């Protein structure tokens, strides 16, 4: 009986570890832009492969909630303060990471309302982080 309890415990631990690893592996494989609700990609994460004019209307309902960003794609992305690609904006290069969008250099935490995927890997004149 004790062996079965240990096996069940190990199985549960293995499933928990696998569920943590799968999203990280999926992020690397998808080529998406990833936003996270907490700094250093902590908390809820959500990824997109295409431009989104209003993040509050996406499956994640992620408008004005991001505290960190990772660009896992081969394209540059522009992150906008307002829905409809308006107001302040910053570009993140392919492969770029910003662990703290609240940093005083840009004060962009909990502000991103729309995202635009550019056709290439250059920020081409957009202000960068």
Asked whether residue 65 falls in the same domain as residue 83, the answer is yes
Asked whether residue 43 falls in the same domain as residue 55, the answer is yes
Residue 129: which domain range? 32-129
pLDDT digits (tens, 9 = 90+) for 16-59: 333 333 344 444 446 999 999 999 999 999 999 999 999 999 99
Asked whether residue 63 falls in the same domain as residue 107, the answer is yes
DSSP state of 96: -
Global pTM exceeds 0.85: no
- In sequence order, what are the residues at sequence separation of 6 or more whose Cβ sits closer than 8 angstroms to the Cβ of residue 90? 78, 79, 106, 108, 126, 127, 128, 129
The predicted structure's pLDDT at residue 124: 87
Asked whether residue 118 falls in the same domain as residue 81, the answer is yes
């Amino acid at each position: 009986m004790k062996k079965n309890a240990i096996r069940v415990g190990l199985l549960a631990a293995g499933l928990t570890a696998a569920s943590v690893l799968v999203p990280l592996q999926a992020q690397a494989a998808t080529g998406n832009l990833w936003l996270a609700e907490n700094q250093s990609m902590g908390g809820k994460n959500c990824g997109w492969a295409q431009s989104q004019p209003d993040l509050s209307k996406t499956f994640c309902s992620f408008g004005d909630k991001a505290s960190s960003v990772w660009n896992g794609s081969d394209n540059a992305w522009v992150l906008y303060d307002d829905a409809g690609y308006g107001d302040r904006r910053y570009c993140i290069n392919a492969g770029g990471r910003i662990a703290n969008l609240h940093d005083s250099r840009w004060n962009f935490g909990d502000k991103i309302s729309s995202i635009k995927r550019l056709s290439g890997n250059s920020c081409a004149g957009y202000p960068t982080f």
